[in-house]
């Protein structure tokens, strides 16, 4: 399995590359960034794990060399937030970065699983899809917006209420998008069931929705979540790779183009959003099936979902429009 990290020298890229270098499922790891890949690559190359590592800069066809032969491409390239910014404020710069990298995937590794971390995910995933569609290489089953950090946060924050020793043992679906009120945790659907006292529910939901802001504020100008994101990004990438190798029964929420995924059409109709994060079963060819968990939401969660739909639709159209009507330079 050849894995590529695009944006490998960054705050997320470095620890994510470390985790992938240590992963026994990875035979080859290519690091791509516009800066510092020689140093990061040299450093990681001393780790005595299976993965053979190569690093590339844009010069000398670096992107092409990194992407050629890739089975999975993880993209954490782009600028992060500073206090006072929304994820949408990152659009202006990150939209073009994701567009360029996904164009590279269309040309050099059209069959790879593509995992988009760069924000705003609600718009960068539609951008990626439009780029791939234009190139005639779009496979909705293999394009994923990484929303795993919202799931990881939900597990962690619920643990502070339930006291469960291993938070990852509680499965909590988090659906919708990846910013503020578009993030909707469905605590009513947790397995095993969790009991959240009524007077704690609003604060818990708010903390999951604005968990990113909590980190941005604490970092005080030095960026946003990087280490927890690398953990979450790795967790999702590992699931995709395990499914690719034939392991069955792997389900994880991820932000996808639903009409292209089995079971997705009815969710797109119910939500009015073509892109939405729902629990998706993964298989060798990527997404096998999207689960319509929206219909199981309770009344409290249905209200959250109404707000989610509103915000998400605008973010999605903004991404589609960026590719259809490129901004004048």
Ligand X SMILES: O=C([O-])CC(=O)C(=O)O
Residue 136, classified by CB atoms within 10 Å of its CB into exposed (0-12), middle (13-18) or buried (19+), is exposed
Secondary structure element (H or E) that encloses residue 271, with its range:
helix 264-271
117 binds ligand NAI (CB under 6 A): yes
Name which position in 119, 182, 189, 315 contacts ligand X (CB under 6 A).
119
In whole angstroms, give the CA distance from residue 306 to residue 319. Answer: 21
CB distance 33 to 27 below 8 Å: no
CA distance 29 to 72: 10
Q: Which two tokens stand for residue 125?
A: 């995933």
Q: Pick the catalytic residue: 178, 224, 255, 257?
A: 178
Q: Assess contact for 201 and 154: CB atoms under 8 A.
A: no
The stretch near ligand X (CB under 6 A) out of 66-74, 79-87, 100-108, 270-278 is 79-87
Stretch that binds ligand X, among 29-37, 58-66, 208-216, 293-301 (CB under 6 A): 208-216
What x/- string results for residues 144 through 173 when contact with ligand X is judged by CB under 6 A?
-----x------------------------
Subset of 218-247 contacting ligand NAI (CB under 6 A): 223-226, 229
Question: Which residues have CB under 8 Å from 244's CB, separation 6+?
Answer: 1, 71, 72, 113, 284
> Binding to ligand X by residue 87, rule CB under 6 A?
yes
Q: Does 315 bind ligand X (CB under 6 A)?
A: no
Active site residue 178: yes
x-marked contacts with ligand NAI along 252-291 as a string, rule CB under 6 A = ----------------------------------------
Residues with catalytic function? 178
Q: Which residues bind ligand X (CB under 6 A)?
A: 80-81, 87, 119, 149, 212, 215-216, 224-225
């Amino acid at each position: 399995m050849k894995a590529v990290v695009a944006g490998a020298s960054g705050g997320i890229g470095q620890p994510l590359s470390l985790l992938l270098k240590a992963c026994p499922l990875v035979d080859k790891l290519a690091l791509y960034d516009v800066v510092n890949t020689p140093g990061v690559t040299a450093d990681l190359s001393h780790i005595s794990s299976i993965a053979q590592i190569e690093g590339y800069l844009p010069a000398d066809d670096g992107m092409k060399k990194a992407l050629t032969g890739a089975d999975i491409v993880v993209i954490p390239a782009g600028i992060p937030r500073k206090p006072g910014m929304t994820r949408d404020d990152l659009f202006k710069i990150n939209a073009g970065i994701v567009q360029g990298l996904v164009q590279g995937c269309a040309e050099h590794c059209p069959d790879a699983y593509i995992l988009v971390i760069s924000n705003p995910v609600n718009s960068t995933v539609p951008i990626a899809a439009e780029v791939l569609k234009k190139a005639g290489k779009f496979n909705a089953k293999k394009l994923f917006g990484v929303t795993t950090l919202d799931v990881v946060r939900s597990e962690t924050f619920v643990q502070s209420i339930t006291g469960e020793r291993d938070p990852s043992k509680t499965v909590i679906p988090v659906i919708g998008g990846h910013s503020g009120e578009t993030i909707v945790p469905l605590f009513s659907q947790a397995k095993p069931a969790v009991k959240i006292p009524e007077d704690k529910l609003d604060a818990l939901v708010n903390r999951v929705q604005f968990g990113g802001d909590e980190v941005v504020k604490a970092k005080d100008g030095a960026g946003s979540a990087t280490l927890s994101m690398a953990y979450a990004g790795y967790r999702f990438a590992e699931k995709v790779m395990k499914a690719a190798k034939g392991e069955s029964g792997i389900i994880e929420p991820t932000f996808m183009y639903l009409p292209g995924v089995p079971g997705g059409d009815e969710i797109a109709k119910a939500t009015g959003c073509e892109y939405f994060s729902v629990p998706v079963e993964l298989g060798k060819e990527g997404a096998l099936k999207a689960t319509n968990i929206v219909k199981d939401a309770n009344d409290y969660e249905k209200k959250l979902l109404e707000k989610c739909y509103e915000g998400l639709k605008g973010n999605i159209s903004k991404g589609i429009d960026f590719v259809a009507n490129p901004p004048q330079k």
